[in-house]
Structure 1
Amino acid sequence: MSRIEQLLQQIRQLEEELLLELNQRSQVIGFTIKGKRVEFERSIRLAHKRLKYGIWRWLFGIRPINIITAPIIYAMIVPLVLIDVLVSFYQYTCFPIYGISRVKRDHYIVFDRHHLSFLNIFERLHCLYCSYGNGVVAYIREILARTEQYFCPIKHARKVLGTHERYYQFIEYGDATDYHQRLQQFRKNLAKEE
């Protein structure tokens, strides 16, 4: 096993430990997840309702610049929806042709924060927007990562910031040894994924 593979394995183990720790923290906060639904203990639900800012209190507490820039921020929903539709269409039409397993959209775009009873309607809208926007970007990133793995699983010569998880397993820049055989293996691996 190469040093990179060892480090990737350590990262995966740390991610699993982090998930366990986060799950334990959710028990301390007092909620459980049943299917796609989150349920809080009764005492927590009551506390949340007491902590909720009413609409008028919230409106008078925000900076005027936030209200002025809101149309600019929320206008981004148009390109987000458009790219979501286009990339989903691309995936559903092309991935089966190439034998690439599809990315499950609902693993990336998750709506649950708007159910928090301590949020008012505007805060819930903000949470819906951010959940959708960040979820779409993560969803698209995974689709493009699988595309890159299929067509060009080669690292760049220069360091690239914000690379996807698959990138570290790609072929080193300039390493032509058995390139086409390794490319076929990368492609076979894509077909096996969930």
Structure 2
Amino acid sequence: MPQNVETLLAHIRELQDSLQDELEQKRDKFRYRLDRGRIRFESRALARHRALKVTLLTFLRNPRPLFILTAPFIYGLIVPLVLLDLCVALYQAICFPVYGIAKVRRADHVVIDRHQLAYLNGLQKLNCVYCGYANGVIAWAREVASRTEQYWCPIKHARRVADPHTRYGRFVDFGDAEGFQQAQPTLREDLREGP
């Protein structure tokens, strides 16, 4: 892999780490901590959240009619999302051991915790659970797909990709036949260890 690509990927990882550090510092600002997977707010912060909560009746008092009409389309996606969730789990359980690819931890991607916020009413919490699940399943499926792509076809596209996955930068350049033959065994071996 060219040195410039390696340098850029290292810089991207540093920026991602910096972003995580910044998010960790927000815990102090908003007065919460993680305790065995549960979010624990300080009592003053929790009281403030409860005071700012918009009740369900107020929230539902004047919804725009189009919001109501689109709700079945939004929530109707739960069926294909659950099917995707099940299919990815099955695919990974069957195929990854055969290929020697480290499995992707679903819990690292499907994060559902915003329902613990006291300033959200019941419907807002339901919406947050739904969005956390939907985006998490899609992120998890994307990581499973990216590992599969790295195993079978780690070649960059000729055209620009709008939002390439994190593995894409290590793929072989489009048209580099010799590079593909040389890099594929190493890229496959890297998958045994996971991320």
TM-score above 0.5:
yes
AA aligned opposite 2:4: R
Is the counterpart of residue 12 in structure 1 residue 13 in structure 2?
yes
Tell whether the 8 Å contact from 2:32 to 2:41 is kept in structure 1 after alignment. Answer: yes
What SS does the corresponding residue of 2:34 show, helix, strand or coil? strand
**Larger displacement relative to structure 2 (10-19 or 167-176):** 10-19
Following superposition of structure 1 onto structure 2, how do residues 34-183 of structure 1 map, counting pairs within 5 Å? Answer: 34-183=35-184
Identity fraction in percent: 43
Instruction: Please give the per-residue CA displacement for 1:85-136, whole angstroms capped at 9, x wherever unaligned.
Output: 0111000000000000000000000110011111111001100110010001
What SS does the corresponding residue of 1:192 show, helix, strand or coil? coil
AA aligned opposite 1:119: L
> Residues of 2 paired with 1:64 and 1:27: CA distance?
40
Q: Which runs of 5+ in 1 are unaligned?
A: none
What SS does the corresponding residue of 2:191 show, helix, strand or coil? helix
Q: How far off its partner does 1:78 sit?
A: 0.4
Q: How far off its partner does 1:21 sit?
A: 1.3
AA aligned opposite 2:20: L
Q: Which runs of 5+ in 2 are unaligned?
A: none
AA aligned opposite 1:42: S
AA aligned opposite 1:53: V
Tell whether the 8 Å contact from 2:104 to 2:194 is kept in structure 1 after alignment. Answer: no
Q: How far off its partner does 1:14 sit?
A: 1.4
Normalised by the size of structure 1, how large is the TM-score?
Answer: 0.96
Q: How far off its partner does 1:178 sit?
A: 4.6
Instruction: Please give the per-residue CA displacement for 1:3-55, whole angstroms capped at 9, x wherever unaligned.
Output: 11111111111111111111112211111112311110100111111111111
What SS does the corresponding residue of 1:44 show, helix, strand or coil? helix
> Residues of 2 paired with 1:57 and 1:178: CA distance?
61
Normalised by the size of structure 2, how large is the TM-score?
Answer: 0.96
> Residues of 2 paired with 1:129 and 1:182: CA distance?
40
Q: What is residue 184 of structure 1 aligned with on the other side?
A: 185
**Larger displacement relative to structure 2 (14-23 or 94-103):** 14-23
The size of the alignment, in residue pairs, is 194
